[in-house]
Structures are given as C-alpha cells and as structure tokens.
A and B are shown apart, each in its own frame.
Chain A
C-alpha cells in the first residue's frame, strides 16, 4: 500500500525509482473492433517481425490481456524507445451472446465467447492503473461520441496517464478524423490504417512524443 502510494506520488512528479524507463507499459485501449489487435500486429511486424494477436471481424476476438515485452522502435533521428506493448480486450457496456449466434457461431461457443468477453472487459479496466501511457484506438468510420470512449478517456485523464488517440481505418471511404478531433480537442489524434500501414510513420513519431 505504501509502495503504491509512493508510486502514485512519483508518477505525479514524473519520477519512478521502481522501474526503469525501458519498462514502459504502453496500452492499447478502445471499444471492440476498433483495430487494437491489428495495430498491435502492425507494430510487432514492423519491429519484431512477428504477429502478436489474432484478429477477426467478429467483436471480442481479444478476450485476454496480451503482452509483448521489449518492443524496440526507432525514429528517423535514430532515437530509440523500448516498451512493453499491452493489447487489451475492447471495452463495452453490453455483451449479448445472441450477437455471436448471428455471426454463425454455435450456441455453446457463443455463450462461452460472451462469458470470456465480459471477463476481458473487467481485466481491461483493472489494468488501467498499470499503464504508463495509453493509445486509444478508435474506428474513424464510427461515431466517436459513445459514452464508452468518453469514460475511458476521462478515466485516463483522471489517472494522469498520457493519451494518444488513433483514428484507425483511414483507408475506408467513411473515415472521418475531423469528428474525432472535434470530440476530443485536448488530445493529439493521428490517423492510420493499421491494416495497410498507411501513415504508420506519423503514428510512430506520435508514440515518441507520447512517451518522451
């Protein structure tokens, strides 16, 4: 308890004697199907040459916290940054196993997925306190004013955790980064297509600024 108090205090003072700077935990948060795992895979492919998570069009594919240790990235100036990448299950306020039935799953499989998904949401929330910086991945083709997005970002702000907003899926016609920028004007927003790697260099530069 004393250690946690001191950690919070040092965090506020931007000083952490309990951990080295190379042990930064960078979390990927957001609603389901925003592209968190696709972005995690893009980062791992680019810098480690391997994938991290499985992806699917069906929501709640990631139902457990996934961690990739020692991800080392470099920017154009040759500066290096090492972090642990944490891919989290999408945060939602509703999970209906019947939605999975509609996507062709069997009843037992759908119920199991729903149960795991609820646990995944709880784990994501519990892990918020462990993060040093968070990338909130939003689907830029969807309405950003959902309460889940506002609640996640508001809680990160209350915990003094630096936040970068990623407007994903910019390869799609309906993508609209401006709506996300106007919904959260106090944060930097970087548009990417995690799937095709579009504007991914801008994203890496933003990560350096986030964790400076």
Chain B
C-alpha cells in the first residue's frame, strides 16, 4: 500500500520556511508521498535538499522530488499580469509538488506535463505486506 498525503496551500502558507520544510519532511519520513498544492520557493527547495542530507541515516535514505509547473510561455501578457497579482495576494499556488521517500519511490520522471512515479519493489511497506501474506 502506498499512502498519498495532500497538502493544500493554505496549510503551509502561514508557516515559516523552516517549519514548512520540517512539516513536509516529517510526512515523508513517515513513508507517505506528499502531494502539495503550489511549490516551495527556490531557496526552500535547496534548503529541503540540505536538510534531507542532514537527516540521512540507514533508515532514511532521502527523497524523490518533482514539481509540475505550468509553462508560462503559452500565457498571454494579460494572463501573466493577472497571475502575478493573484500570486501577490494569495501566494504562488500554481503547480504541484510531489515529494516521496526514497525507500518507497524509486524515481519520478517528468516529461514536462506528465509525471510518472516508479515505486521500489523492496520498500519496507511492500516487504511487510508480503511477509504477512506468507503467514
């Protein structure tokens, strides 16, 4: 079984960068896949990688991360201005961020509007399930 946890933007919006990252990492370390509305700031993405590295252990092997973001090249100038205003007022909630534990998600491929998650066959959850079946 694979668990997805949806995080709406309003759930992370009031948090500081450090708290946002900690919240997301906590869910991922619990072996759930985060599907977050919107995206982290660029510097938060790099902080997420840095903190992930600090927490690597034989149990926690890191994360797989992917962000789907609409291609703004196709937007008209009016749409861009409206989007910029909406971002200022409501925060940048366009796009989708997926963060999975490396023990569960083998890799995420993006192409660029499609996302494919390749799962690890030997993730702890799979192993537990198959062990139960054998009994």
Contact = CB atoms under 8 A, between A and B. Distances in A.
Contacts of B108: 147
Interface string A139-166: 0000101111011101101100000000
Contacts of A157: 42
B53 A122 contact: yes
Contact of B42 (A93, A97, A126, A158): A158
Interface in B90-135: 102, 108-112
**Which interface residue of B42, B66, B109 has the most chain A CB atoms within 10 A?**
B42
Given A95-B56, A122-B53, A145-B112, A155 B66 contact: no
A94 interface: yes
Contacts of A183: 112
Given A122-B53, A143-B109, A94 B58 contact: no
A121 interface: yes
B11 interface: no
A183 to B, nearest CB: 8
Contact of A151 (B42, B54, B111): B42
Interface stretch (B1-9, B43-51, B76-84): B43-51
Nearest to A151: B45
A210 interface: no
B45 A154 contact: yes
B35 to A, nearest CB: 15
Q: Is the interface of A mostly helix, strand, loop or mixed?
A: helix
A152 B50 CA distance: 12
Contact of B56 (A91, A118, A150): A118
Interface residues on chain A, size class: 20 to 34
Contact of A118 (B45, B54, B58, B111): B54
B49 A125 contact: yes
Nearest to B41: A158
A93 B43 contact: no
Contacts of A119: 53
Contacts of B112: 145, 183
Interface in A162-200: 183
Interface string A115-137: 10011011001101000000000
Interface of A: 91-97, 111, 114-115, 118-119, 121-122, 125-126, 128, 143, 145-148, 150-152, 154-155, 157-158, 183
22 contacts: A91-B49, A93-B63, A93-B64, A94-B63, A95-B61, A95-B62, A111-B58, A118-B56, A121-B49, A121-B50, A121-B53, A122-B54, A125-B46, A125-B49, A128-B46, A145-B109, A147-B65, A147-B110, A148-B65, A151-B42, A152-B46, A154-B42
